[in-house]
Every structure is written in structure tokens, then in C-alpha cells.
């Protein structure tokens, strides 16, 4: 009788475990709150016609620099030969209404997802442009950027860091007397990358 009771209890426990496993949802949801997001934009204005003449903007999440990245070997291990998402949460994205070039590479008018690629030997950095349509069809998150196909790249130059921003900071700057000559700067902790941006605005 005791053996039968033990067998019955074991079977009941097993059934409960199986039922619990079966009840576990396959897909879960994350996020929904307000993310730390930033945008860098350059807009051109036609004063004669009092109308916009075109613009471009880069939107990105702002991850925090970690103390571990102070070790060059650690930073190399997570960047060499890889594409870094250059942001956090949703995809870092770039849209331009005007033709331009970044680091000498022509960037057609359009909308792109972005990452940063570093060569396997760590000597070269580039801005990686990804087709959002390909990402959308594959349902890829920016965390899975290694699975995304890079459409083309624009070279970036490693610069001596002017500061040490705790959070990723991306901006565009330009001289007031030469507004088509823009500089892109990506700064994060000890890392600083730059590229010249040449803009073609119809007058």
C-alpha cells in the first residue's frame, strides 16, 4: 500500500512538472518603458523660399561605459572582427533626405540601420549600413546585429578622446561658413571615432 501511494505521488508530481513546462509561454515581451534615447540632426533651411531644404538625422540609445572597457584587451575582445550595435535597445538608425558622403563613401538618400565594424586585427573601424527591410523580414533585434547583412561601409578614424563621456554620445558639427562640411563624432568613454560628412544641398 505504501509503495502504491509513493508511485501515485511520483506520477502526480511528474504530471504537474510536465503541465508546468507545457504552460510556459514560448514568446514573452520586454520593454515598454521610456528608454534613454538621443538624436543628432542637421537641417538645412532655404531662407529665400522660407522652406526646408533637406536634413539628416541619427537616432540612438545611450549605453553606459563600463569600467571593464578601460582594459584595452577587454575592449579588443568585444570589438575586434565584429560589428558593434553602436547603441542600446532599438536599432541605431540614420535617415538622410539629401545625398552625402561619409568618410568618402557615398550614402544615397534613404533610411538605414547602423553599426560599427572593427577589423579582425583592430586597426580599422567603419560605419556599417544595414537594410532595415532585411532586418524587418528576419525579425532581428539590434542585439543580434552579427546576423544582419551589412549593405556597405564608410570608414571611420580613431581619434584621441577629447573627453570621457559616460554614455554614448554621437553628434554632428560644422563651421557656420561651410555648412556642407560636417564632422561626425562618436564618443564613448575612452573611445572616439570621427568621419567627415560632405553634404550636397540643392540651392
Q: What is the pLDDT of residue 34?
A: 80
Average pLDDT on 54-73 reads 94
Confidence tier at 160 by pLDDT (50, 70, 90): confident
Confidence tier at 21 by pLDDT (50, 70, 90): low
pLDDT (tens digit per residue) in 24-53: 889 888 888 888 899 999 999 999 999 999
Q: What is the pLDDT of residue 22?
A: 61
Rounded Cα–Cα distance for residues 103 and 92 (Å): 19
- DSSP class of residue 167? B
Confidence tier at 193 by pLDDT (50, 70, 90): very high
Is residue 165's pLDDT more than 70? Answer: yes
pLDDT (tens digit per residue) in 84-98: 999 999 999 999 999
Confidence tier at 8 by pLDDT (50, 70, 90): low
**Cell numbers found for residue 116:** 560599427
Is residue 15's pLDDT more than 70? Answer: no
Residue ranges covered by each domain of the chain = 36-199
**Percentage with pLDDT > 90 across the chain:** 72
Q: What is the pLDDT of residue 109?
A: 97
Average pLDDT on 145-174 reads 94
Q: Within 13 A of 148's CA, how many CA atoms are on the CB side?
A: 31
Q: What is the pLDDT of residue 54?
A: 96
Name the β-bridge partners of 116: 84, 127
Give residue for cell 510556459.
24
**E strand segments, 7-75:** 37-46, 51-61
- Torsion angle of alpha carbons 144, 104, 54, 63, nearest 10°? 30
173 C-beta neighbours (distance < 10 Å), count: 13
pLDDT (tens digit per residue) in 69-81: 888 898 898 899 9
Q: What is the pLDDT of residue 9?
A: 58
Q: Which residue has the higher pLDDT, 162 or 40?
A: 40
Confidence tier at 17 by pLDDT (50, 70, 90): low
Amino acid at each position: 500500500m505504501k509503495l502504491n501511494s509513493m508511485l501515485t505521488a511520483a506520477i502526480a508530481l511528474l504530471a504537474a512538472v510536465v503541465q508546468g513546462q507545457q504552460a510556459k509561454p514560448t514568446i514573452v515581451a520586454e520593454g515598454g518603458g521610456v528608454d534613454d534615447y538621443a538624436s543628432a540632426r542637421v537641417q538645412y533651411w532655404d531662407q529665400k523660399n522660407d522652406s526646408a531644404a533637406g536634413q539628416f538625422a541619427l537616432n540612438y540609445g545611450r549605453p553606459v561605459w563600463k569600467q571593464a572597457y578601460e582594459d584595452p584587451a577587454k575592449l579588443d575582445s568585444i570589438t575586434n572582427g565584429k560589428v558593434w550595435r553602436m547603441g542600446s535597445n532599438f536599432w541605431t538608425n540614420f535617415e538622410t533626405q539629401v545625398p552625402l558622403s561619409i568618410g568618402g563613401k557615398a550614402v544615397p538618400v534613404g533610411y538605414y540601420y547602423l553599426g560599427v565594424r572593427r577589423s579582425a586585427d583592430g586597426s580599422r573601424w567603419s560605419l556599417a549600413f544595414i537594410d532595415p527591410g532585411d532586418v524587418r523580414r528576419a525579425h532581428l533585434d539590434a542585439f543580434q546585429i552579427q546576423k544582419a547583412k551589412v549593405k556597405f561601409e564608410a570608414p571611420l578614424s580613431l581619434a584621441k578622446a577629447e573627453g570621457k563621456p559616460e554614455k554614448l554620445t554621437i553628434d554632428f558639427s560644422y563651421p557656420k561658413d561651410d555648412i556642407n562640411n560636417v564632422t561626425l563624432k562618436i564618443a564613448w568613454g575612452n573611445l572616439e571615432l570621427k568621419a567627415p560628412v560632405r553634404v550636397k544641398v540643392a540651392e
